[in-house]
Amino acid sequence: MKSGSVVGILVLLVAFGVARLQQSGSQTERFPQFENDDVKVWRSVIMPNAPLAMHRHDHPRVIIALSGGTMKIVEQDGATEEHIWETGKAYWLPANPPNPMHADVNGGDKPIEVMVVELKHER
């Protein structure tokens, strides 16, 4: 995929403010947005005290913080790292190493909402 296509998708997401679906209660959720042969895009709302299930990312991705906050990444072996995502900013996250799983935990008291653009192919 040409880098212009990824940039175009990111610009559209940010420029149009990404039409948001209504949040439903206090549940952490993932909302599929778009997928083709090159990218997979979803919006996640991570509620405080409602972590995402253990998972992994086989591909690199861009995170766009629609509503930022402090995200704790908890590895299955107990190791943790913290990411502070500022509203309106984009962040690059590489693919995860093979095998380990992690859970995303909202370390704050307000929902964190992100748009994720995952690249399906390496350069």
Tens of pLDDT, residues 83-121: 999 999 999 999 998 888 999 999 899 999 999 999 998
The token duo for 19 is 């039409």
- The domain of 31 spans 3-20+27-119
Q: Any idea what the CATH number is for the domain that residue 54 is in? A: 2.60.120.10
pLDDT digits (tens, 9 = 90+) for 21-48: 344 456 888 899 999 999 999 999 999 9
Does 65 have pLDDT greater than 90? yes
Strand arrangement, sheet containing 112-119: 29-35, 39-46, 112-119, 61-67, 90-93
What is the C-alpha separation between 30 and 45, in angstroms, rounded?
6
Number of structural domains, the chain? 1
pTM: 0.76
Q: Which two tokens stand for residue 95?
A: 């693919």
